């Protein structure tokens, strides 16, 4: 019965995974966030360095304040310009997937974004864009505009509305003429959008999208029930041996959680109270969207309680080092967790247990919230908890989570152990 | 010389297997070049490959890749779950060479 059910589920999940994996726009958004990752990570690590607890006692208050001021430019060009990186990344990636000239599509997307974004008068009489409109508040506007501009560019090129050059003209020159008409269309349509929103009470597309789309989606996405559902869904994909994080998280959820992280980061930088419990780092290092939450408890169980079972121990040796760094494919496919009915329950419960424990600790203030500082996803547990919350409590909460999950996994591994013992007895008899 | 490329989501877990496969190749004296790559980087990869092996976690991409690359005489296959999980470099290498 289980096999037929899992066959059926697999029949539905594979095409979904394929659709999401192959969706051009989701792919482009995912690639764009990957491009921005090293920049925001660098910026956030510098910020973490400037805010190490008790640093003022070592450096003195003045020196620390001077250092914190000195790094503000780094914050400005990393997470306060993230929308620029996202827009360029989406344009570049869509340009690549449509086989267009990537750099022109990317710059078109950027220009389109800058057209709809308001400019303000500066004190010295000049005009400037506010950094507020280049950071987390404009991420959704940036995504929409970048996709729109890339599509306009593609449609115009595919309709062949381009200026042709004789073959003897060098390619660089041809490319810049080819892009002329598509760019013109991008300008006209973005100006129209800008004029249209200027007529509304929102004034700009940025504030319309922020209030009407970004905030509602973020609220919904970061609500606790939705978060639990997403975690369970992610591991359901893994149960069928499909890369749940890449399917559920990277392409669909990352814009939502990343923008929440950046809002926390801005508050952290300003020394204000952090607004969100659920952020990208919460998801990765507390909420269970990370192979460690399964690798650590399973490996602990194998090495502490099931050493006698030879095949498990052998798998444990293969899986240990990757497991410490959050790579848990050996456990999924080798143990295997995949399509192993007994293992489905703890797999689905793992993100629920870990996010419930963390949520309680953070909601009650026993553990500080994630500051938005990010680390590479392969960072071992405890270390990731300490850095992302800027507090030892983050590491302690992770240890509590791992202890609770070890109990959970022990119960189900014991069931599996007994089953396999019985099978071996039958074989021997 | 045979060129084998392993693809997974980020190129992380396949790179572990690649090391094991290289060890196995050294022992049996096979002339192979083995690489691991993130699935998204492969589209723009212009190096040589004779075989594409997919990590089982991205097997939903098998049909698309097969349609795209078999015409170019590149073999596409999904690595067996168990061999992948146990990081059995020797078996995966044999599998790739016998495709």
pLDDT-derived band at A403 (thresholds 50, 70, 90) equals: very high
- A2 inside 8 A of chain B by CB: no
What is the tens place of the pLDDT at every residue in B29-38?
Answer: 888 999 999 8
Catalytic residue among B4, B7, B8, B36: B8
**First-to-last C-alpha distance (Å) of chain B:** 15
Residue A320 confidence (pLDDT) above 90: yes
CATH superfamily assigned to domain B2-97: Response regulator (3.40.50.2300)
Q: How many CB pairs under 8 A join A and B?
A: 79
Give the residue from chain B lying closest to A246, CA to CA: B9
Check CB contact under 8 Å for A336 and B87: no
Across B1-99, where does the E strand assignment appear?
A: 2-8, 32-38, 51-54, 75-78
**Average pLDDT score, chain B:** 89
Dihedral sign (CA A39, A44, A47, A49): negative
The answer to whether A255 and A279 are in contact (CB under 8 A) is no
Max distance between CA atoms of chain A, in angstroms, equals 92
Which pLDDT value is given to residue A2?
Answer: 64
Residue A23 main-chain phi, psi, to 5 deg: -65, 120
Is residue A62 classed exposed, middle or buried when 0-12, 13-18 and 19+ CB atoms within 10 A define those classes? exposed
Measure in Å the smallest separation between the Cα of A26 and chain B Cα atoms: 12
Instruction: Give the tokens for residue B31.
Output: 């002339």
- A251 inside 8 A of chain B by CB: no
Which pLDDT value is given to residue A348?
Answer: 94
Instruction: Give the tokens for residue B70.
Output: 């078999």
Which pLDDT value is given to residue A73?
Answer: 83
Q: Which of residues 304-333 of A touch B (CB under 8 A)?
A: 314-315, 318, 322, 327, 329-333
Residue A397 confidence (pLDDT) above 90: yes
| A246: nearest Cα among B84, B45, B87, B12 | B12
The answer to whether A117 and A144 are in contact (CB under 8 A) is no
Which pLDDT value is given to residue A274?
Answer: 94
What integer is the mean pLDDT of A149-164? 90
Residue A4 confidence (pLDDT) above 80: no
**What's A370's DSSP letter?**
P
Based on the residue annotation, tell me whether B13 is a catalytic residue of this protein: no
Q: Name every residue whose Cβ is closer than 8 Å to that of residue B98 and which is 6 or more positions away in sequence.
A: none
Residue A261 confidence (pLDDT) above 80: yes
What is the tens place of the pLDDT at every residue in A368-382?
Answer: 999 999 888 889 999
pLDDT-derived band at A208 (thresholds 50, 70, 90) equals: very high
Which pLDDT value is given to residue A254?
Answer: 85
A16 or B87, which is more confident:
B87
* CA A313 vs CA A316, A337, A400, B51: distances in Å: 5, 15, 25, 32
The answer to whether A263 and A281 are in contact (CB under 8 A) is no
pLDDT-derived band at A20 (thresholds 50, 70, 90) equals: confident
Which pLDDT value is given to residue A38?
Answer: 87
Find residue B33's DSSP bridge partners. B3
What integer is the mean pLDDT of A255-282? 91
What integer is the mean pLDDT of A207-214? 91
What is the tens place of the pLDDT at every residue in A75-108?
Answer: 888 888 999 999 999 999 999 989 898 999 999 9
pLDDT-derived band at A400 (thresholds 50, 70, 90) equals: very high
Q: Exposure string (b/e) for A222-245, b if CB count within 10 Å is 16 or more?
A: beeeebbebbbbbbbbbbbbbbbb
Residue B97 confidence (pLDDT) above 80: yes
Max distance between CA atoms of chain B, in angstroms, equals 34
Distance of CA A313 to the CA centre of its chain: 33
Task: Report how far residue A35's alpha carbon sits from residue A383's, in angstroms, rounded to the nearest whole number.
Answer: 24
The answer to whether B72 and B44 are in contact (CB under 8 A) is no
A49 or B85, which is more confident:
B85
Q: What percent of chain A has pLDDT over 70?
A: 99
Q: Exposure string (b/e) for B12-50, b if CB count within 10 Å is 16 or more?
A: bbbbbbbebbbebbeeeebebebbbbbbbebeeeeeebb
H helix runs in A51-179, sequence order:
55-59, 61-70, 72-77, 82-97, 102-116, 139-158, 171-178
Q: Name every residue whose Cβ is closer than 8 Å to that of residue A27 and which is 6 or more positions away in sequence.
A: A21, A93, A97, A251, B40
**Average pLDDT score, chain A:** 89
Q: Name every residue whose Cβ is closer than 8 Å to that of residue A22 and which is 6 or more positions away in sequence.
A: B61, B64
Which pLDDT value is given to residue B9?
Answer: 82
Residue A251 confidence (pLDDT) above 80: no
Which pLDDT value is given to residue A190?
Answer: 95
Residue B32 main-chain phi, psi, to 5 deg: -140, 155
Which pLDDT value is given to residue A1?
Answer: 58
Which pLDDT value is given to residue A283?
Answer: 94
pLDDT-derived band at A122 (thresholds 50, 70, 90) equals: confident
Which pLDDT value is given to residue A3?
Answer: 67
Task: Report how far residue B99's alpha carbon sits from residue B96's, in angstroms, rounded to the nearest whole number.
Answer: 6
Q: Exposure string (b/e) for A204-217, b if CB count within 10 Å is 16 or more?
A: bbbbbbbeeebeee
- A26 inside 8 A of chain B by CB: no
Which pLDDT value is given to residue A55?
Answer: 74
Residue A21 confidence (pLDDT) above 80: no
The dihedral over CA atoms of B27, B32, B37, B40, expressed in degrees to the nearest 10, equals -150
Interface test with B, best of A241, A247, A336 (most B CBs within 10 A): A241
Measure in Å the smallest separation between the Cα of B91 and chain A Cα atoms: 14
What is the tens place of the pLDDT at every residue in A56-75?
Answer: 778 788 888 888 888 888 88
Task: Report how far residue A101's alpha carbon sits from residue A85's, in angstroms, rounded to the nearest whole number.
Answer: 18
Which pLDDT value is given to residue A12?
Answer: 78
């Amino acid at each position: 019965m289980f096999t037929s059910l899992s066959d059926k589920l697999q029949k539905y999940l594979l095409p979904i995974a394929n659709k999401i994996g192959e969706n051009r726009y989701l792919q482009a958004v995912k690639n764009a966030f990957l491009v921005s990752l090293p920049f925001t990570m660098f910026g956030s690590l510098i910020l973490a360095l400037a805010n190490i607890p008790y640093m003022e006692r070592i450096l003195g208050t003045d020196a620390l304040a001077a250092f914190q001021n000195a790094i503000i430019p780094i914050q400005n060009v990393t997470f306060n310009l993230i929308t620029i990186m996202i827009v360029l990344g989406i344009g570049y990636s869509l340009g690549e997937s449509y086989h267009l000239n990537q750099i022109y599509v990317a710059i078109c997307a950027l220009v389109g974004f800058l057209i709809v974004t308001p400019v303000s008068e500066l004190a010295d009489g000049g005009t400037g864009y506010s950094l507020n409109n280049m950071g987390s508040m404009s991420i959704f506007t940036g995504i929409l505009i970048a996709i729109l501009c890339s599509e306009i560019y593609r449609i115009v090129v595919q309709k062949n509305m381009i200026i042709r050059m004789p073959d003897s003209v060098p390619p660089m020159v041809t490319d810049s003429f080819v892009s002329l008409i598509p760019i013109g269309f991008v300008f006209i349509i973005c100006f129209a959008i800008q004029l249209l929103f200027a007529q509304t009470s929102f004034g700009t597309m940025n504030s319309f999208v922020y209030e009407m789309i970004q905030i509602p989606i973020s609220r919904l996405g970061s609500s606790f029930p939705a978060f639990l559902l997403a975690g369970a869904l992610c591991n359901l994909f893994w149960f069928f041996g499909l890369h749940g994080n890449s399917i559920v998280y990277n392409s669909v959820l990352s814009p939502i959680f990343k923008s929440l992280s950046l809002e926390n980061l801005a508050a952290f930088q300003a020394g204000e109270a952090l607004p969100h419990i659920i952020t990208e780092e919460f998801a990765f290092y507390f909420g269970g969207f990370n192979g460690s939450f399964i690798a650590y408890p399973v490996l602990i169980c194998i090495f502490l309680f099931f050493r006698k079972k030879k095949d498990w121990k052998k798998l444990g040796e293969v899986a240990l080092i990757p497991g410490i760094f959050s790579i848990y494919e050996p456990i999924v496919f080798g143990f295997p967790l995949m399509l192993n009915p007994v293992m489905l329950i703890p797999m689905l419960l793992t993100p629920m247990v870990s996010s419930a424990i963390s949520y309680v600790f953070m909601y009650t203030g026993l553990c500080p919230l994630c500051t938005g500082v990010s680390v590479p996803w392969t960072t071992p547990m405890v270390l990731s908890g300490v850095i992302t919350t800027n507090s030892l409590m983050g590491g302690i909460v992770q240890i509590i989570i791992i202890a609770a999950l070890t109990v959970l996994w022990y119960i189900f591994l014991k069931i599996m152990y007994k089953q396999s013992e019985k099978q071996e007895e039958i074989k021997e008899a | 010389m045979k060129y084998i490329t392993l693809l997974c989501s980020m190129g992380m877990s396949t790179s572990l297997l690649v090391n094991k496969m290289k060890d196995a190749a050294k022992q049996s004296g096979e002339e192979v070049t083995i690489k691991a790559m993130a699935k998204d980087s492969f589209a723009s990869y212009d190096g040589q490959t004779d075989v594409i092996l997919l990590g089982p976690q991205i097997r939903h991409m098998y049909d698309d890749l097969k349609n795209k690359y078999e015409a170019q005489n590149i073999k596409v296959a999904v690595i067996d779950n168990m061999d992948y999980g146990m990081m059995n470099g020797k078996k995966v290498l044999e599998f790739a060479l016998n495709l």
